Amino acid sequence: MPTRRSHVIVKGAPDEVWGLIRDPLGWNPWFPEMGESSMEGDLRTITLPSGLSIVEQITTVDDELRRFQYRIVENFVIKDHLSTIDVFDLGDGTSLVSYSLEIQPDAMAIMLGYVTGQALLHLREIFEGE
Amino acid sequence: MGRRILFVTTDQQRYDGLGCNGGQVAATPVIDGIAASGVRFERAHPQNVVCMPSRSTIITGQHVHTHGVWMNGVPLPIDAPSVARYLREEGGYRTALLGKAHFEPLLDPFLQFKENQIAMNDSFGPIRGFEHAEFATHAPRGYSHYSQWIAKNHPDVANGFYPVLNFSLEVNEAGGGETGAPQVSTNPVPKDQYQTDWVADRTIAWLDSLDAEDDFFCWMSFPDPHHPWDPPASEIGRVNWRDLDLPPGYPQDRAEREAILDAKPIHWRRWYDGTLVSNYEAPRDWVPATLTPDQILEINARVHVKNMLIDEALGRVMALIESRGWTDSTDVIFTTDHGEFQGDYGLLFKGPYHVDSLMRLPMIWRPAKDAGAVPAVVKAPVGLIDLAPTFCEIAGLPVPEWMEGKPLPQSDSAADEQGRERVLTVWDSVHPNGTRIHLRTIYRDGWTCTSALPGTVHDGTEGELYCHADDPLQRVNRWDDPSVRALRDDLVADCFENLPTWEEPHMQIAAPV
């Protein structure tokens, strides 16, 4: 199973950073590549800028661990997907954010690995600007 | 008013695909005519044998490790140096790119890359110094202007094209035609709606939009003859595959073929046997050892057809230039980004294989008549890295420091004066399965020498050494021949002395292609 992981250190307190991640409909400021999104139950439907639509099941929003997990479902190309975002307290007012994923096929691992890495860079920029 | 530049590229075209280079099948009278009145290069090499790194070298005039696009899928930064931008800003040239760009990934579901964005947004640039851009690739799929045009005007033909990728987004191994050859299919698209004619049509339209006094740098970039091998069905009859001879590069005896592969670094034989997938440029699930002679012939016939269509399309553009009265003031440069296997050693497609099949490129330059050049054949080694400096020289502009090549010579004596001795090519790949391959190659003094650096397949002791005079098909690997050990060591040292350092961090792969 192909896996990918990116991480950044963010100049923000973990609860502040987690606040931007835990809301499934609040990702646009730090993940603009995702396009538009809507929720129905635990299913998030995103419409990518290319027009492609992807349905994701939000499986974990753990405020104690600061962990967010979701799976892409109902997609004829993507198989066996699980993404995990963790926010770690570095103890000095900054946070370590990790975005890992497993997915098939290989091509999607490359593309999602790249775009999620870009999203973390956006997240870092948000807090650099404060 | 200065000299105008028509820069014509194809994608994945072999040196021997043209009549002027000894090709015996495809009629290419337009290109042959340009060669006869211009400069024909007999030893032009790319700096990488796949599209994105090679095309990035063309536009930047830089080695691969300088521009940083080290394999397909690594995007060239949008603000990277561009000879088009330089010609436009410093020379006042009108600039356009019509056809295949591929400086950024084609697979782009998040629409992150400008090449794809402008097509989706009904925009035509500017991008990378091209004031006008209309993009196409190997089929009307994805985000190109050609795809948009087909979808809007001829939606019924889109599904007739072979799907380059399968449902796993891997290069498709499905076979077709009469022989079941991979990436062969019957495409009902009318010739005038096929990508080759579309690229010529858009080029003609842009050139015809210019004022008579405009200087232009027009890059006409055909996506063909790259696979899939599905030219318009109406044209297939031009070359009957049953009438062809097997290419000289194909050793017909299986034992001989496999002995040749066994004498090369181990990744050759492992790919042939289907036990190694090292790169994305060939179907993952296709095993070269299953390739039949008839499949080679059918594929080759279709490539010849594609080459003929390119030649005819170029002829239409040349006629437009003539009608505008620009012939005597226009430099025409024709080349490609890399070659391909067409049955050589029992292989197809491309990958980490630095032999003439992939590295020896057609390259022709007919300087504007106003420049008073003399027809010539240049045997000295040149590279795609030399194109950008050549465009600068044609435009009367100094070659900027960021370019690493030299203007192309118009004769071997001019090449000697430039101190031309070598041309360099690199390969670096990391496959999602963890396979890493790194090759460093020099061509000098009639020898090609490749070092296989340590990776997951090689331990750093393997390599290839071929004498082109004695072994024009590169069948005899002399890397371990003690009689040429000193030469080998000198070539390896020369290669590394002249390659730029590959600084870390390396740019990230964004997509497989």
CB contact under 8 A, B112 and A118: yes
Q: Scanning every residue of chain B, which has its alpha carbon at the shortest distance from the alpha carbon of A113?
A: B510
Q: Is the pLDDT of residue B141 over 90?
A: no
Q: Which two structure tokens, joined as six digits, stand for A19?
A: 């606040």
Interface contact A114-B169, CB threshold 8 A: no
| Environment class of A63 (CB within 10 Å of its CB; exposed 0-12, middle 13-18, buried 19+) | exposed
Enter the tokens of residue B240. 């009957």
B74 Cβ under 8 Å from any chain A Cβ: no
B281 touches chain A (CB under 8 A): no
Those residues with Cβ within 8 angstroms of residue B336's Cβ, 6 or more apart along the chain or in another chain = B9, B10, B11, B12, B13, B361, B362
Give the span between the Cα atoms of B126 and B484, in whole angstroms.
Answer: 52
Residue A49 has its nearest CB partner, among B110, B431, B510, at B110
The total number of structural domains in chain A stands at 1
Q: Do A111 and B109 touch (CB under 8 A)?
A: yes
Tokens 């350092």, residue? B501
* CB < 8 Å to A120, chain B: none
Query: Which CATH number does the domain housing residue A88 bear?
Result: 3.30.530.20
Whether B112 sits inside 8 A of A109 (CB atoms) is no
Instruction: Work out the burial of residue A82: count CB atoms within 10 Å of its CB; fewer than 13 is exposed, 13-18 middle, 19 or more buried.
Output: middle
| Chain A partners within 8 Å of B73 (Cβ) | 110
What domains can be seen in chain B, in order of their start residue? 4-498 (3.40.720.10)
pLDDT at A75: 82
From residue A97, alpha-carbon distances to A10, A108, B40, B188 in Å are 7, 22, 56, 52
pLDDT of residue A66: 98
Residue B55, CA distances (Å) to B9, B170, B338 in order:
10, 22, 9
Six-digit token string for B109: 């579901």
Residue B142 pLDDT level (bands cut at 50, 70, 90)? confident
pLDDT > 90 fraction of chain B, expressed in percent and rounded: 97
What is d(CA A37, CA A50) in angstroms, rounded to the nearest whole number?
14
Query: What is the 3-state secondary structure of B101-163?
Result: CCCCCCCCCCCCCHHHHHHHCCCCCCECCECEEEECCCCCCCCCHHHHHHHHHCHHHHHHCCC
Q: Which chain A residues have a beta carbon less than 8 Å from that of B165?
A: 107
Over chain B, what is the mean pLDDT?
Answer: 97
Q: Among candidates B109, B97, B220, B237, which has minimal Cα distance to B165?
A: B109
pLDDT value at residue B373: 87
8 Å CB contact of B112 and A108: no
Nearest to B57 by CA among B87, B82, B39, B74: B82
B289-348 per-position pLDDT tens digit: 999 999 999 999 999 999 999 999 999 999 999 999 999 999 999 999 999 999 999 999
Please, are residues B52 and B35 in contact by the beta-carbon 8 Å criterion?
A: no
Among the partner residues A76, A105, A111, nearest to B170 by beta-carbon distance: A105
SS3 state at B223: strand
Q: Which two tokens stand for residue B1?
A: 């008013």
d(CA A125, CA A50): 24
Please give, rounded to a whole number of angstroms, the shortest distance from the CA of B431 to a CA of chain A: 9
Tell me what pLDDT residue B392 has: 98
pLDDT digits (tens, 9 = 90+) for B161-198: 999 999 899 999 999 999 999 999 999 999 999 999 99
What is the average pLDDT across B36-44? 98
Whether residues B120 and A33 touch (CB distance < 8 A) is answered with no
Secondary structure of residue A45 in the 3-state scheme: strand
DSSP string, A83-123: EEEEEEE-SSS-EEEEEEEEEESHHHHHHHHHHHHHHHHHH
The answer to whether residue B434 neighbours chain A at the CB level (below 8 Å) is no
Looking at beta carbons, which residues of chain B come within 8 Å of A102? none
Q: By residue range, what is the domain housing residue A48?
A: 3-128
Confidence (pLDDT) at A88: 98
pLDDT at residue number B35: 98
Is the minimum CB–CB distance between B110 and chain A shorter than 8 Å? yes
Contacts of A109 in chain B (CB under 8 A): 432
User: Is B168 within 8 Å of chain A by CB?
Assistant: yes
Q: A-chain residues within 8 Å CB-CB of B110?
A: 33-35, 48-50, 111, 115
Per residue in B67-123, pLDDT tens? 999 999 999 999 999 999 999 999 999 999 999 999 999 999 999 999 999 999 999
Task: Report pLDDT digits (tens) over B422-459.
Answer: 999 999 999 988 999 999 999 999 999 999 999 999 99
Walk along chain A (130 residues) in steps of 10 and give the mean pLDDT of each run.
Answer: 94 97 96 95 94 95 98 89 98 97 94 97 90
Of B112, B120, B433, the CB nearest to A115: B112
Crossing angle (nearest 10°) for helices B83-91 and B387-395? 10
Contact B252, B473 (CB under 8 A): no
Contacts of B114 in chain A (CB under 8 A): none
Is residue B2 predicted with pLDDT exceeding 70?
yes
Please list the residues that pair with B8 across neighbouring strands.
B220, B334
Cβ distance B111 to A76 less than 8 Å, yes or no, reads no
| A77–B168 CB contact, under 8 Å | yes
Nearest to B457 by CA among B263, B280, B289, B270: B270
Preferred mutation among B52, B110, B141, B168 to probe A, highest tally of A CBs within 10 A = B110
pLDDT of residue A130: 58
Q: Which residues of A touch B (CB under 8 A)?
A: 2, 33-35, 48-50, 52, 76-77, 104-111, 114-115, 117-118
**Partner-chain contact B111 A117, CB within 8 Å:** no
Q: What residue of B is the nearest CA neighbor of A110?
A: B511
Secondary structure of residue A66 in the 3-state scheme:
coil
List of chain B residues whose C-beta atoms are within 8 Å of the C-beta of residue A56: none
Whether B433 contacts chain A with CB within 8 A: yes
β pairing state of B361-366 and B39-45: antiparallel
pTM beyond 0.80: the answer is yes
